[in-house]
């Protein structure tokens, strides 16, 4: 994630929800921005162990080991061969055209939650949502309607310009969905590989 695009968040982050944690590479950024606390969600149990090791020096940051989508239950999770960086609940599609050396090496079953269910008792504690889940961003957002309506002011998410993963929703679909909750896209980063990052702010 090109997270430095949104340095204007300095002092504005109350609580951060980060879905698709990997090893928590953005942990220093959140601390520098003054986030009161950060909750990380990582589906891969092996990477989750490394995440928690890296968070041990950050008392206001914690992590959970499960996938996040638009339902609660169990889900199949595809683990990629690039240290899990391209892992997803979706199958690869055009991704292979840009990264032919990347493939899935195994599939595991993991717990799956919606953000609305998981944070049902945390009203008012979080105002920022960061998502990096390899094509499944729309599913995460669909499971966060209450949070988007009542709590979240900022959304930073990976977006797709084409179908890198089977069934992924492109950036226009993300724009349209978030506009229902009063969000407007204000920043964009294009990798020229069919995907990028987008930052949305709620218009007051």
* Per-residue model confidence as pLDDT tens digits over 3-24: 666 778 889 999 999 999 999 9
- The pLDDT score that the predictor gives to residue 81 is 97
| pLDDT tens by residue, 28-70 | 999 999 999 999 999 999 999 999 999 999 999 999 999 999 9
* Tokens describing residue 183: 């969000």
Structural domains in the chain plus CATH codes = 3-71+112-202 (3.40.50.150)
Q: pTM above the 0.85 mark?
A: yes
First-to-last C-alpha distance (Å) of the chain: 26
- Please name which of 196, 197, 88, 199 lies closest in space to residue 152, comparing C-alpha atoms: 199
The more confident residue out of 156 and 5 is: 156
Q: Contact at 8 Å (CB) between 133 and 108? A: no
Q: What contacts 45, CB < 8 A, 6 or more positions away?
A: 65, 108, 110
pLDDT bin (cut points 50, 70, 90) of residue 168 is: very high
């Amino acid at each position: 994630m090109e997270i430095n695009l949104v340095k204007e968040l300095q002092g504005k982050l109350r609580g951060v929800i980060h879905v698709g944690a990997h090893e928590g590479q953005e942990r220093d950024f959140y601390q520098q921005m003054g986030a009161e606390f950060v909750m990380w969600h990582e589906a891969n149990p092996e990477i989750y162990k490394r995440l928690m090791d890296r968070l041990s020096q950050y008392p206001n940051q914690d992590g959970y080991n499960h996938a996040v989508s638009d339902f609660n239950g169990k889900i199949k999770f595809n683990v990629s061969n690039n240290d899990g960086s391209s892992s997803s609940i979706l199958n690869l599609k055009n991704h292979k055209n840009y990264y032919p050396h990347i493939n899935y090496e195994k599939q595991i079953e993991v717990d799956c939650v919606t953000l609305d269910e998981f944070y049902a008792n945390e009203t008012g504690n979080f105002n920022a949502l960061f998502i990096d889940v390899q094509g499944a961003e729309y599913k995460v957002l669909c499971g966060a309607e209450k949070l988007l309506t009542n709590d979240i002011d900022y959304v930073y998410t990976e977006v797709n310009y084409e179908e890198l993963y089977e069934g992924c929703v492109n950036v226009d679909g993300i724009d349209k969905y978030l506009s229902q909750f009063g969000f407007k896209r204000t920043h964009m980063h294009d990798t020229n590989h069919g995907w990028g990052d987008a930052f949305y702010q709620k218009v007051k």
